[in-house]
């Protein structure tokens, strides 16, 4: 389907922004230079009549994104947490996209529930409310279970959402190919890989069985986290298009007036939401990747409640260590170490100069550390870091896209609670704790134990594997699978793992 017909979709996107009046608002929000403003008007105005009209009662940008469909709405949700980028007024308008979209009828929802669960709604629930929240992919109903009287949230997918998302993603693929064709310098960013990654994440949201599994795994990882709660999944009442969970009772995290009225400390909540995310990402390698205000509440006891687990991020242990060392290096302003980590991880080509890269990183970090607390921004750091790594030939790391994006979103949520928050001071104890636990003597001992455990599975086969690796593992000779496994064990991991592997190899050969 990815052909020139997608030009129509892209043209209509620009035309919709022009027709809704969103074009000027967006250009103002991003402080676009005069030439770009003129070009946008000249190119947009003739096609204005092709754009979707949308709901004229909505603010222009919300009107345009909502008219264009779910993929565009997702983008708006992200930007609603970045008032430092789009301005406070536009950020407040975009927040409507999180959970206040037009719902579909309760009758249609009941049909979906019966079709998925094989039971009528009145057989399962004694109460089933009209939609209490409607987002881009699904809507939620508050219900009471007939047998137990427990209050639950019933999430139901929007009818036809699968096809709508595939249409938008198809156009994104076409746009990515167009960019790569006419802008060779962009190929290092691998636009199509980025879209493919986005597609995998979003399509996972369209199967609520996967979301239920995400919630279960996340709950197991975080059950001991102080100040954090998750609703529990009702597996017997969940399927591909319907998911039932316990009701999350609390104040929306995006409602500062309600939070203040309930007597909660917004500065404490601001720190907690950021530290929880860092702990989940670094400690567990499994984190909520859609942590905007619409998916967070504050419980009566002050705990943060997270829900909507359609998008979860996963990073392996080695990447976590790299990420932590980069963050820790910036926090300590040790730019030489940050540069070395980039080279050790293979993020920057080995033929580049590490000292020059370290100086470029200093130019990124020092201006940010010189700012007052209200202006220090992880988002700004990522933007500057992207510019530097581009100059040094670093390719886009698709496995870090969700992590980087969520970091920006979480920072926006934290700042909406406490604009005075110093992100470095809040992040420092979490990152330092991870460094002490996972990158040090204790980590080396744990790596050794894990390596011995893996080697023990091969038992008597180890001598033959080592001999085969030494004889056949030359650069010009294809290496069989067992030898490739051994090579990965000895040389494919971190420096610690490599050292442990070499020591074991020496012991085995002695």
Extents of the domains making up the chain? 6-99, 161-204, 248-439, 443-509
Calculate the alpha carbon distances from 392 to 225, 317, 327, 360, 367 in Å.
Answer: 39, 25, 19, 10, 20
Residue 493 pLDDT: 43
CA nearest 496: which of 283, 344, 327? 344
Residue 431 pLDDT: 85
SS3 (DSSP) at 161 = helix
Query: Rounded distance, CA 256 to CA 251, Å?
Result: 9
Residue 496 pLDDT: 44
Residue 4 pLDDT: 63
Name, in order, each residue with C-beta under 8 angstroms of 54's C-beta and a sequence gap of 6 or more.
16, 19, 20, 63, 64, 66, 67
Catalytic annotation, pick one of 170, 290, 308, 418:
290
Residue 203 pLDDT: 77
Do the beta carbons of residue 202 and residue 169 sit within 8 Å? yes
Pairing mode, strands 304-306 and 228-229: parallel
CA nearest 291: which of 315, 314, 316, 311? 311
Contacts of 442-447 with C-beta under 8 Å, sequence gap 24+, read: 443/496, 444/496, 444/500, 447/494, 447/496, 447/497, 447/500
Do the beta carbons of residue 415 and residue 463 sit within 8 Å? no
Query: Rounded distance, CA 418 to CA 415, Å?
Result: 5
User: Phi then psi for 151, rounded to 5 degrees?
Assistant: -90, 130
Residue 58 pLDDT: 87
Mean pLDDT in order along the chain per 10 residues (510 residues): 68 85 78 65 73 87 87 74 65 71 90 94 95 88 95 94 83 74 60 74 84 95 95 95 95 93 95 94 91 91 93 86 84 90 87 92 80 66 70 69 77 89 86 81 71 70 73 55 43 43 40
Token pair in block for residue 126: 């004694």
Residue 458 pLDDT: 67
Task: Reply yes or no on whether 150 is catalytic.
Answer: no
Do the beta carbons of residue 343 and residue 325 sit within 8 Å? no
């Amino acid at each position: 389907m990815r052909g020139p017909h997608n030009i129509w979709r892209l043209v209509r996107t620009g035309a919709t922004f022009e027709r809704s009046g969103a074009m000027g608002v967006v250009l103002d929000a991003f402080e676009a230079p005069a030439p770009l403003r003129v070009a946008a008007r000249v190119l947009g105005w003739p096609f204005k009549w092709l754009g979707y009209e949308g709901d004229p009662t909505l603010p222009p940008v919300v009107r345009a994104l909502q008219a264009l469909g779910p993929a565009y709405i997702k983008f708006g949700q992200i930007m609603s947490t970045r008032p430092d980028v789009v301005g406070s007024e536009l950020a407040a308008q975009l927040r409507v996209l999180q959970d206040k979209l037009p719902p579909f009828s309760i009758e249609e929802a009941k049909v979906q529930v019966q079709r998925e669960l094989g039971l009528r709604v009145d057989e399962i629930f004694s109460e089933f409310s009209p939609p209490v929240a409607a987002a881009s992919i699904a809507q939620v109903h508050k219900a009471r279970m007939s047998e137990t009287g427990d209050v639950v949230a019933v999430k139901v997918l929007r009818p036809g959402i699968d096809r709508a998302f595939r249409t938008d993603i198809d156009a994104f693929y076409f746009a990515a190919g167009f960019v790569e064709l006419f802008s060779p310098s962009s190929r290092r960013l691998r636009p199509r890989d980025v879209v493919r990654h986005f597609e995998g994440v979003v399509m996972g949201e369209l199967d609520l069985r996967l979301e239920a599994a995400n919630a279960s795994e996340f709950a197991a990882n975080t059950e001991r986290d102080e100040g954090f709660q998750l609703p529990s999944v009702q597996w017997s009442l969940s399927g591909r298009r319907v998911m039932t969970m316990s009701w999350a009772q609390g104040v929306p995290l995006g409602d500062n007036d309600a939070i203040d009225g309930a007597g909660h400390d917004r500065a404490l909540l601001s720190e907690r939401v950021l530290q929880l995310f860092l702990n989940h990402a670094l400690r567990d390698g499994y984190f909520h990747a859609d942590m905007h205000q619409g998916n967070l509440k504050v419980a009566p006891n002050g705990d943060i409640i997270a829900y909507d687990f359609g998008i979860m991020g996963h990073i392996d242990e080695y990447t976590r260590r790299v990420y932590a060392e980069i963050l820790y290096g910036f926090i300590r302003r040790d730019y030489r170490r940050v540069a070395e980590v980039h080279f050790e991880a293979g993020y920057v080509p080995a033929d580049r100069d590490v000292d020059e890269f370290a100086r470029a990183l200093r130019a990124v970090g020092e201006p940010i550390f010189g700012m007052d607390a209200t202006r220090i921004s992880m988002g700004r750091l990522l933007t500057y870091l992207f510019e530097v790594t581009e100059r040094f030939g670093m390719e886009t790391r698709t496995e870090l896209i969700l992590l980087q994006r969520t970091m920006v979103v979480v920072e926006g949520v934290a700042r909406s609670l406490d604009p005075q928050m110093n992100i470095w001071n809040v992040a420092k104890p979490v990152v330092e704790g991870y460094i002490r636990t996972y990158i040090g003597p204790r980590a080396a001992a744990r790596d050794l134990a894990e390596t011995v455990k893996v080697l023990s599975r091969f038992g008597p086969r180890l001598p033959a594997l080592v001999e085969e690796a030494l004889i056949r593992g030359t650069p010009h000779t294809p290496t069989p699978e067992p030898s490739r496994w051994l090579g990965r064990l000895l040389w494919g991991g971190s420096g610690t793992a490599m050292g442990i592997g070499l020591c074991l190899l020496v012991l085995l050969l002695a």
